[in-house]
Amino acid sequence: MSEMKKDEIAEDQALMGEEGLETEVMADELEALRAERDEMRDRFMRALADAENIRKRGERDRREAEQYGGSKLARDLLPVYDNLKRALDAAGDETRNMAKGLVEGVELTMKELIAILGKHGVQPVAPAVGDAFDPQVHQAMFEAPVPGTKAGDIIQVMTEGFMLHERLLRPAQVGVSSTPKS
């Protein structure tokens, strides 16, 4: 009987060894599955963040296209504005009296053009003589020493500039005083 007990004990130890080995294998598999789960969770969170960034970028691009999409057309219409303004400035009192209807037509066309540009966010940048030169919205076409002015003062405005919402569409072209400080 003692031999039988020894066989049973050996058999039980063999079974226990297999169970211990099986438990160890299961623990390794469980650890591998946890690592895979964590990796998948990380990849999912990154993909979710990427999708959110793409959505935000798309929304920003759509807004910018809506606001600034017509900038090329508006820029192309600015010479028309300049020519109408020159025509009105060139018409003296005599011309205004002789061709009153024509001058009124040009003035109405100019007002309509300004209204349409304004409707789409285009606003004039009209500096006055004596204003300080601002390189963000003005383009210096020449410098000249003019008595009674300070260096950097605007002495002449050639063309008005225009802003499209917050962006500069065209800078105002100006002459700037270069009178040295005394």
Per-residue pLDDT for the chain (182 aa), expressed as one digit of tens each?
566 666 766 666 555 555 666 778 888 889 999 999 999 999 999 999 999 999 999 999 999 888 888 889 999 999 999 999 999 988 888 888 888 899 999 999 999 999 999 999 999 999 999 899 999 999 999 999 988 888 889 999 999 999 999 899 999 999 999 877 65
pLDDT of residue 92: 83
CA gap 97, 103 in Å, rounded: 9
CA gap 131, 176 in Å, rounded: 10
CA gap 134, 127 in Å, rounded: 10
CA gap 179, 173 in Å, rounded: 19
CA gap 116, 168 in Å, rounded: 18
Phi, psi at residue 158, to the nearest 5°?
-85, -50
pLDDT of residue 70: 84
Q: Are 132 and 154 in contact (CB under 8 A)?
A: yes
* Percentage helix, strand, coil for the chain under 3-state DSSP, each rounded to 5: 60, 20, 20
